[in-house]
Amino acid sequence: MPVTEKLSPEEMRRRFTPATLADAEGLETIKEAADKAMAPADTAPVPDPVDDPRSRNPYTFQLDWTDTRGHRWQGSFTVHYPTPMDIMRAGVMQARMNGSTPRDALDPLSDEISFITSRLTYCLDKRPGWFKDPTTIIDGVPLLQAVYERVLDFEQFFREHGQTASPGPA
């Protein structure tokens, strides 16, 4: 059995007190760090969402995107927030594009392409001529994703901050 050494309370305190806490300067540094960590974050004034064009339906955005081959895709898109009918029609289109194959039997990329294409078909009101049928664009998946990313950004913002038409006089 190992021999245990009997330590005085002072010796135990000395051994178990970190050196940074032992001196007043170290203690102040730790207090400052804790105060800084607990302080409320500096927040810049948040602009009024009403001033953001994404709060209006429909929303028009400009795309300026360059693919990996260096081809630059530019154009104006107008999108509206999807209605339940838009979502339903897009779902039917997606099922048809997938040949009615169950989604869990598809590879994720094919499912994503059919989802994005069907949603854009029913939510884009205006699009550049080169985006008339985006499924025919060579290596067009990243382009589809870039356009849909902008549409999804609008949908998420509009869901939280969108302006809807007033119901009119009561």
User: pLDDT under 50 in the chain at which residues?
Assistant: 166-170
- pLDDT at res. 102: 86
SS3 73: strand
* Whether residues 150 and 71 fall in one domain: yes
Separation of alpha carbons 2 and 119, rounded Å: 73
- pLDDT at res. 24: 57
For 45-55, give one letter per residue: b (16+ CB within 10 A) or e: eeeeeeeeebb
- pLDDT at res. 170: 44
- pLDDT at res. 100: 83
* Whether residues 23 and 57 fall in one domain: no
- Look up the domain containing 76 and give its range: 53-161
* Whether residues 69 and 153 fall in one domain: yes
- Provide the number of structural domains found in the chain: 2
Residue 32 lies in a domain: yes
In Å, how far from its chain's centre is CA 10?
56
* Whether residues 34 and 112 fall in one domain: no
- pLDDT at res. 77: 96
Residue 54 contacts residue 154 (beta carbons within 8 Å): yes
Tens of pLDDT, residue by residue over 25-71, are 666 777 787 777 777 766 666 667 667 777 778 899 999 999 999 99
